[in-house]
Amino acid sequence: MTTDFKTARARMVDNQIRTMDVTSHPVLDAFGDVPREAFVPEHLRDLAYIDEDIQIAPAGESAPARYVMEPAPLAKLVQLADIRASDVVLEIGCGTGYGSAILSQLASSVVALESDAALAAKAGETLSELGCDNVVVVQGPLAEGYADEAPYDAIVFSGAVEYVPQVILDQLREGGRLVVVEGAGNASRAKLYLRDGETTSPRAIFNTAVRMLPGFELSKEFVF
């Protein structure tokens, strides 16, 4: 039996996203328009609209497995970023490009940063096929951000980190917003950073648990 992706997408918006206090109509419309099934492996497409993360790359020797983020926390982060139609946005850890496609419907332009060459290539291909012409996918270390196109009005992390490097905070425009999940597992918090002059201060907004991005591990101190 062929999956009715359009109906599944509408149910995702109504049952997973609206019920988690996502009230922004542009954000809801974006999640209702972007085909999540296009961004997951073909053998998992029938599961594209479950309320879970979906693996898009296995773990390596020094890197965690990569996932398309569960819809509800992603939607809450995007709403928190308060993307405006004139904004230039940096997405860190774009994976196969699902979050990039969502952001492309809200922003003027999106720089989608990915460290994994195969994922970056897949993201570029899929976004092009869907006509997301205001997104450019770039490959590079996630923890360095992408200074070539800075400053950004908003920066969105598509995964959790242990800390936000100062070099990324410095890429925010005055008045810019950065949204990220800090911490691992159930101890993690979604935070909003606001740039005010030389200061970028965080505020914890809600509890959530999402998969970790590579490259943001804190140095482990030796204990004697």
Domain locations along the chain: 5-207
pLDDT tier at 223, thresholds 50, 70, 90: very low
In the chain, the percentage of residues whose pLDDT exceeds 70 is 97
| Superfamily of the domain at 5-207 | Vaccinia Virus protein VP39 (3.40.50.150)
In the chain, the percentage of residues whose pLDDT exceeds 90 is 90
Bridge-based pairing state of the strands 189-196 and 172-182: antiparallel
Distance CA 202, CA 131 (A): 35
Residues 98-124: tens digit of each pLDDT: 999 999 999 999 999 999 999 999 999
182's tokens: 């800090």
Q: Which single residue is written with the structure tokens 């809200």?
A: 106
* DSSP tag of 42: G
Residues 48-82: tens digit of each pLDDT: 999 999 999 999 877 889 999 999 999 999 999 99
| Mean pLDDT score, 18-22 | 96
pLDDT of res. 1: 54
Residues 138-196: tens digit of each pLDDT: 999 999 999 999 999 999 999 999 999 999 999 999 999 999 999 987 779 999 999 99
Cα–Cα nearest to 145, from 117, 174, 113? 113
CA dist 24 → 18, 73, 157 (Å): 9, 14, 19
Amino acid (1-letter code) at residue 37 = E
